[in-house]
Chains A and B, each alone.
Chain A
Amino acid sequence: MTTALRIAPRTAVVLVLASVAALATFSWPFFVPAQPESMARTTEAPLVFIAVLPILLALVLAELSSGGIDSKALAMLGVLAAVNAALRPLGAGTAGIETVFFLLVLAGRVFGPGFGFLLGATSLFASALLTAGVGPWLPFQMLAAAWIGLGAGLLPARLRGRAEIAVLAGYGALAAYGYGLLMNLWFWPFSIGADTQLSYVAGAPVLDNLHRFAVFTAVTSTFGWDTGRAITTVMAIVLVGPAVLAALRRAARRAAFDAPVTFATTPGPAIPPGQASGLGVRPPG
């Protein structure tokens, strides 16, 4: 497997720390304490987390690209994000049809975890700009999609053929449900507010709140949106997955991300002009 973007040890640590903090910005309703001033606390806490998450996301994105992204990886990132952003409106409006995840999973698989993370984030950002869907939910969507791309890159590398498609399809279904769950979790305190029987209760035991959340998510979205999203993703991976994987692998081979860039020291016209442009090696594919 090629890796279009290397993750240095320091970047991995940053990624883990930021992900832990970010997970708290999703799941705070389970842990938020009941206090005398809990009313003030529950109206302030969501706003604090909404302000914190974009900064965390910016930190991770900056750290991932801190070594400087190779121009081929960057162009690939932009083009795949454009394809994803163009695919997204195809499904919107029809309940539960989600066309973004399959390419995200496949590209994360081929180009590695770091690239998958960036692709998830940039895809949703570009799509939000194209359809003007920028709002407080955007950083949360970007992060959830980035985690999906990251996870796809971390799947066992040796699998090929039918087993690979089966694993990817399973992961796709899992990711579809997980994304729905995370977005529901984020939206839960905002959509219904306090004091209904499905709202979170500050300071209540975690299990109690989990139960309320389970009912909320089952009532609102699991059977409609999330299942539809999972079915679309699995079908897309099974039907066009092998062909798309082949196309992506061919592009990865041609781009030769792993090839070291060397500068010849011999003076004179020893280097053909086509190779001096920075590509370093002639693409083998």
Chain B
Amino acid sequence: MTDQATADGVGRQAPVTPPDSRSALAGRLPRALHPGAWWLWALGLATAASHTTNPLPLALLIAAAALVVVRRRGDAPWAFAFRMYLILGAVIVAMRVVFRLVFGGGQGDHVLLHLPEIPLPAWAAGIRLFGPVAAEQLLGGFYDGLRLATMLICLGAANALANPKRLLKAVPGALYAVSTAVVVALSVAPQLVESVLRVRRARRLRGAARQGLRALRGIALPVLADALDRSLALAAAMDSRGYGRTAAIPAGQRALTGGLVLAGLVGVCVGTYGLLDATVPGYLGLPMLIVGLATAVAGMLLAGRQVRRSRYRPDRWRITEVVVAGCGVATAVVMAVAGSVDPVRLYPPVSPLTWPELTPLMLLVVAVAVAPAWLAPPPTLAAHRTPRPVLTAPNGTTRSSPKRDTSESEAQR
């Protein structure tokens, strides 16, 4: 991707660019950003959203995420998932409000309308449906739901912007095997469609015209058998390419990593208990949980050093990645500052009913959050991509068919 992006830029900018100025320019050339940067940015936005129930900054954060997505998403299938998260967010808000309407307790002074009450039978003792609907109650549900929906939509933005396949390449060594299995699954899934088509064609050639459940069985089982055979062939191919090479780790170090993981998990269990039991001292709660997690993760990372692997075209963490991730962190930090300066504006009280207000700090939060729409490099789109140099045989036929070519470039992303 990187050299392609630079090739793109060279074509458009100057014919010859010295290497150092090219690396300075790399921020502006179309390229895919490191997926971790997008995730950090999105998590920062989600953290900021979790610190307020004020609908004005929340709506502005949603708008900021949407603008960045629209300006910087690529044209891969996952890039168009953002709409689904918007719908899901709307569903969450609607659900909260409807639940308050149906099961609400009727707290609040400004009763909007009286619905007939329906008492439920004894097995649901104490619960009645409908009843008076207060504005405070609905507004509380709306605020809460909007906060959750905003956090979700921020994560949806990361889904649309970051390439999951490249993110899988960046997992720590201890998770290498599992991430390889996921990569295998992602690459095999499209082949299943082709397998289904092949089996159906073979069935038709044999004159099997049965419909319904039997036909389904006649297709599903051969496809499964085909997939299982494919897995054995794949395993042989992986073996022949040196999969499973491990570094020699002394027994003492292995015992240490195992001990770290076990001790950490015990700490996590104690910390969880401490968090949920109010009678134990405070240090057994969240601090214990964090210490336990840190210990276990350290053990896991140490264990990952056993895995030896080489990377093909690694994603580098450059200045633009730092800037984008920094925007996310700054969003969260400024929002936290705004919360400590003026907590009432961030959590506008529902009763008495008050109009939510914006403060300059909140506007600063939104401005920082939306900055990657201009700071991040534009995405590489298939339409703008320079044609891949195709190896041509002397008689003029291309070496690889177009279909093969797209699947190849898909795998490299």
Contacts and interface: CB of A to CB of B under 8 A. Distances in A.
B293 interface: yes
Interface string B346-373: 0000000000000000000000000000
Interface string A227-267: 00000000000011001100110110011000000000000
B185 A74 contact: no
A243 B217 CA distance: 9
A254 B230 CA distance: 12
B412 interface: no
Interface string A52-64: 1001101101110
B219 to A, nearest CB: 11
A68 B182 CA distance: 16
Interface string B221-237: 10011011111101110
A247 B185 contact: no
Interface stretch (B63-71, B240-248, B378-386): B240-248
A46 B65 CA distance: 24
A7 interface: no
Contact of B103 (A47, A74, A79, A198): A198
Interface residues of A, number: 84
Interface string B138-151: 00110011001001
A130 interface: yes
B239 A71 contact: yes
Chain B, interface size category, equals 35 or more
B269 interface: yes
B164 A129 contact: yes
A55 B322 CA distance: 24
Most chain A Cβ neighbours within 10 Å, of B103, B192, B230, B273 = B103
A178 interface: no
Given A59-B261, A118-B181, A191 B96 contact: yes
B276 A33 contact: yes
Contacts of A193: 96, 99-100, 140-141, 144-145
B185 A122 contact: yes
A59 B286 CA distance: 19
B178 A71 contact: no
A61 B300 CA distance: 10
Nearest to A138: B155
Given A62-B300, A196-B105, A18 B265 contact: yes
A45 B99 CA distance: 22
Nearest to A252: B228
A86 B192 contact: yes
Nearest to A66: B303
A130 B186 contact: yes
Interface in B282-331: 286, 289, 293, 296-297, 300, 303-304, 306
A161 interface: no
Interface in A187-212: 190-198, 211
B238 interface: yes
A95 interface: no
B268 interface: yes
Nearest to B95: A191
A78 B128 contact: no
* Those 6 A-B pairs whose CB atoms lie nearest each other, nearest first: A78-B184, A132-B81, A278-B239, A33-B278, A82-B188, A62-B174
Given A72-B231, A250-B225, 4 more contacts: A33-B276, A55-B296, A68-B244, A192-B103
